[in-house]
Amino acid sequence: MAAAAAAGRTILAPNAELSAALFDALERAHRDAGDEIWPTPRIFDLSSWLREQHLQQQLTGRNSARLLSDIEERELWRNVVEGAALGRDFLDPAGAARAARRARRTLSEYNIPLQALERERSDEAAAFLGWNRAFEARCLELNCISADTLLADALPADAQSPSGAVDWIENPLWRPAARRWLERHGRMLLPEDAGAGAVSVFKAHAAADELAAMADWARRESSDERFRAWICVPDLNRRRAEIIDAFDAALAPQRFALGASGAAGYAVAGGTPLADYAPVRVALELLQASVGSVPFAQFSMLLRAPQLQGSDAEAGSVARLDVALRRRASSEADLTTWLDLAERVARSEELGTSPGVQRLRSAQQQLSQLQGAHRFSEWGVVWIAALETAPWAFRARWSSTEYQAAERLRELLATLASGDAVFGTHGRESAQRILRRALRETQFQAQTGVPRIWVSGQILDPFLNYDGLWVGNCSDEQWPPPTAPVALLPVRLQRQYGVVAAGADAQLAHARELQNRWQKRANHCVFSYADSAEGGLSSPSPLLPKSAPLAAAPTAAPQPHWHAMFESAPELQSFWDELAAPYPAGELARGVATLRAQSRCAFRGFAEARLDAQPLERPIPGFNERERGEIVHHALEHIWSVLRDATALAALHPIEQGRLLNAAAVYALEIVRKRRDPGKKWREREQARLLNLLGKWLDVERARAAFSVESLETNDQVASFAGLNFRVRIDRVDRLADGARVLLDYKTGAASADWRGERPDNPQLPIYALLRPDALVAVAYAKVNAAESGFVAESERSRIFPRSHDTKLEGMASFADLVNVWSRRLERIAGEFAAGHAEVAPTNKACNSCHLQGLCRVPAALEEADESHE
């Protein structure tokens, strides 16, 4: 092979993975020999070489037909299948297009004549033949050819032989058509047998153990710097993440350290969809956001995308803008509306101008320059300009992989642009759909060279010799592999023409052949298998050599990446820190919410009031629960500011009531709408719901003992406990006929007597009582909700509220005595807050309604403790 390359001959391999390995081997040989300069070896996979040959023919005018790119071919098949009536019923169009393309390739690779297929009478064959005719007609119309015709068309067998220049490696992977052509026109290069090396068999108890053992073997052996291994995991595509995890744990544990980088010393063949790489993902997000209505979650993700932020300070500022937007945003809007809102909110919250928002605005303006239907050559120019303005503005800080992924996207856009004749014109949405599909279907892997440990997913003869070779999945059920005929083509026909995967006998012979070759390719060859995940015991494939010894008992256990981090973590010291600095005297604490949180759990009080650990709002369609509560409060405030007492309520005529409730609903909705407007449709729905709810509520109030309203939604008052001041707003104060007072708090959700006990779940009513203790005989939640309206009260008198009795006042003789008890409790709770008490000590049900589990981690720890006791 080295001599052929040195003579400038072209060397052909059956696929790209093998050609890359051959290229690397030749380059390495030159370096090992101390060469400083050498001609680049001409090594290609057959398909790339044929494309190159076709291009040469076009340049010399010998062939005018244009070769379809991969994307063009996929889209053409898709159009053909979607446009055909026949066969639509039994496959989804995308799957059918893929299957049809593969079937056509198989016909050409195995020299199966179309006439043979025409003689078959299956629905699948008929559907395929129809699609194939339509595909060929489209190719003719466009003066294009597909890659599967290159071998026959670009270099027909009777043309002048290029055998003087072409060598090919002997390999079972060649399909019959290619092999025949190569035998006629090229010179075969045989592999160099290493001689039968040692063989062993390894059994694992689980698939994860099998991977861990492979990785550990590679780690141990590669302590010798010259060691090179080829490892085959046949189901690599399905288990890619697990494989990387296992090999990283053994060969690149540094990858799990924060900020660490560096070569891994191994590589996994194949790639992942280009659409998954960060610069491509954010490019797609921008393009998608530029069309139609965008949900808030999508806009928020784009706004906060790290690629859009020029610095950490910008990222922090945009995160604050996002929090503020969540309180004001509707659930969906177009990108222009989102950007307008973001600028308004940034101004009103005094966050300053956001460069990220401006970049998005510029990108969006560039995108909107092109309207209507256009060719990809036009769309591509606009897209690239927009990407460079916004998400690709900071390319200088990209990693090599990110840079390569973005370059691949540019190449792909250039490919789309060169296919204008095939694709025609498309509107923005349709063009973006095709681009998205192409990015998902294009596999990408950053160029890293061929390291010493190579993990392949292809069951093939690696041709080159290695120090070690390991093949997994060799149980009796997996080796030889089960048959997997090509869809749409009759199995009988496939067997007749030698499609290996179509027949059990062919698979068996192929497996024997490969196994024989593997044993000649390495000094040490390991075959492994694992018990099934369902707990079933597996047996080795009967093909494995009976005399092979079992490999040494594994020392490796599966090492998910957290395991490596755990192992390398330093020893930790425990330090209880439950006391924060005292709350600054004279500073206004937030209000009732602070004391409520502190009473439920000291850590919760500290985190919510002093760390400002608040849950993020999530804009939903319509009004959220908090807004609905506010609307009811405003509406009732309006109603009682008009009625003022029970007598006016009793005299209210139904028509007047309707007008009053309507006015109250309009008033309340207008207040909330000014801050966040979910739209007319939702306002109308809310208004109808509100009228019904308020009508029911007035019926509840009609059944009360006579009262008049003394005050409504008092402006913020200040309550002082333990030297701290808290803001308080009482919903309503009523006077009874004898002048006694009743304090009310509206609740639109569930409500219970949660103010009782040393650490009340909600000390809100006691706080009200301490602000207005004069002549006080009752406090109550007014439960205004559609499911159940009524009062939940603490009262020293019966029948103040419908069907109510006096309550036990927690054992106190009078309401005034109870208020004294509440005063002591609140002083203590506020005192703990003021002193900085922050111990994680929840009351019985406090964790159920708490959003801080991720911060305190107590519920998770309790669950773990429960499980360990079971």
Q: Residue 857 Cβ, how far from ligand SF4 at the closest point, in Å?
A: 8
Whichever of 264 and 835 has its CB closer to ligand SF4, that residue is: 835
Whichever of 530 and 607 has its CB closer to ligand SF4, that residue is: 607
Q: Is residue 604 involved in binding ligand SF4 (CB under 6 A)?
A: yes
Cβ density class 774-806: b for 16+ within 10 Å, e for less? eebbbbbbbbbbeeebbbbbbbbbeebbeebeb
Q: Which of 1, 486, 829, 850 binds ligand SF4 (CB under 6 A)?
A: 850
Q: Residue 758 Cβ, how far from ligand SF4 at the closest point, in Å?
A: 16
Q: Residue 862 Cβ, how far from ligand SF4 at the closest point, in Å?
A: 9
Pairing between β-strand 443-444 and β-strand 332-333 as defined by DSSP bridges:
unpaired
Q: Which residues pair with 455 in a beta bridge?
A: 231, 268
Whichever of 446 and 593 has its CB closer to ligand SF4, that residue is: 593
Pairing between β-strand 66-67 and β-strand 43-45 as defined by DSSP bridges:
unpaired
Q: Residue 852 Cβ, how far from ligand SF4 at the closest point, in Å?
A: 4
Q: Residue 598 Cβ, how far from ligand SF4 at the closest point, in Å?
A: 11
Whichever of 280 and 847 has its CB closer to ligand SF4, that residue is: 847
Query: Residue 782 belongs to what H/E stretch?
Result: strand 776-783
Which span (91-99, 559-567, 721-729, 855-863) binds ligand SF4, by CB under 6 A? 855-863
Nearest-angstrom CA–CA distance, 175 and 248? 36
Q: Which of 196, 853, 861, 864 binds ligand SF4 (CB under 6 A)?
A: 853
Q: For ligand SF4, how many residues bind (rule: CB under 6 A)?
A: 14
Question: Would you put residue 376 in left (φ > 0), alpha (ψ -120 to 50) or beta?
Answer: alpha
How many helices and strands in the chain, by DSSP H and E? 33, 24
Whichever of 228 and 604 has its CB closer to ligand SF4, that residue is: 604
What string of DSSP letters covers 420-435? HHHH--B-HHHHHHHH
Whichever of 264 and 855 has its CB closer to ligand SF4, that residue is: 855
Q: Is residue 603 involved in binding ligand SF4 (CB under 6 A)?
A: yes
Q: Residue 562 Cβ, how far from ligand SF4 at the closest point, in Å?
A: 23
Whichever of 604 and 741 has its CB closer to ligand SF4, that residue is: 604
In this structure, the number of other CB atoms found within 10 A of the CB of residue 701 comes to 21
In this structure, the number of other CB atoms found within 10 A of the CB of residue 43 comes to 26
| Phi, psi angles (nearest 5°) of residue 541 | -60, 140
Q: Is residue 846 involved in binding ligand SF4 (CB under 6 A)?
A: yes
Q: Is residue 338 involved in binding ligand SF4 (CB under 6 A)?
A: no
In this structure, the number of other CB atoms found within 10 A of the CB of residue 565 comes to 14
State the binding string over 562-601 for ligand SF4 (x if CB under 6 A, else -): --------------------------------------xx
Q: Is residue 363 involved in binding ligand SF4 (CB under 6 A)?
A: no
Pairing between β-strand 266-268 and β-strand 707-712 as defined by DSSP bridges:
unpaired
Whichever of 759 and 772 has its CB closer to ligand SF4, that residue is: 759
Which span (122-130, 738-746, 805-813, 844-852) binds ligand SF4, by CB under 6 A? 844-852
Q: Residue 867 Cβ, how far from ligand SF4 at the closest point, in Å?
A: 18
Contact by Cβ (8 Å): 71, 39: no
Helices 176-185 and 93-109, interaxial angle, to 10°?
Answer: 40
Q: Residue 219 Cβ, how far from ligand SF4 at the closest point, in Å?
A: 42
Instruction: Please list, in sequence order, all residues whose beta carbon lies within 8 angstroms of the beta carbon of residue 167, skipping any fewer than 6 positions away.
Output: 1, 4, 9, 10, 11, 12, 186, 187, 188, 189
Q: Residue 847 Cβ, how far from ligand SF4 at the closest point, in Å?
A: 3
Q: Residue 752 Cβ, how far from ligand SF4 at the closest point, in Å?
A: 18
Q: Is residue 847 involved in binding ligand SF4 (CB under 6 A)?
A: yes
Nearest-angstrom CA–CA distance, 159 and 157? 6
Q: Residue 369 Cβ, how far from ligand SF4 at the closest point, in Å?
A: 51
Which span (99-107, 284-292, 463-471, 846-854) binds ligand SF4, by CB under 6 A? 846-854
Question: Would you put residue 789 in left (φ > 0), alpha (ψ -120 to 50) or beta?
Answer: beta
Whichever of 462 and 842 has its CB closer to ligand SF4, that residue is: 842
Nearest-angstrom CA–CA distance, 517 and 505? 18
Q: Residue 845 Cβ, how far from ligand SF4 at the closest point, in Å?
A: 9
- Looking at residue 165, its amino acid is A
Tokens encoding 548 = 């092979």
Q: Residue 617 Cβ, how far from ligand SF4 at the closest point, in Å?
A: 19
Contact by Cβ (8 Å): 477, 458: no
Q: Is residue 443 involved in binding ligand SF4 (CB under 6 A)?
A: no
Nearest-angstrom CA–CA distance, 641 and 645? 9
Whichever of 527 and 603 has its CB closer to ligand SF4, that residue is: 603
Closest by CA to 437, choosing from 284, 307, 293, 298, is: 284
Whichever of 71 and 602 has its CB closer to ligand SF4, that residue is: 602
Whichever of 615 and 739 has its CB closer to ligand SF4, that residue is: 615
Q: Is residue 614 involved in binding ligand SF4 (CB under 6 A)?
A: no
Nearest-angstrom CA–CA distance, 165 and 620? 67
Q: Is residue 283 involved in binding ligand SF4 (CB under 6 A)?
A: no
Whichever of 435 and 601 has its CB closer to ligand SF4, that residue is: 601
Q: Which parts of this chain interact with ligand SF4 (CB under 6 A)? A: 600-601, 603-604, 840, 842, 846-847, 850, 852-853, 856, 858-859
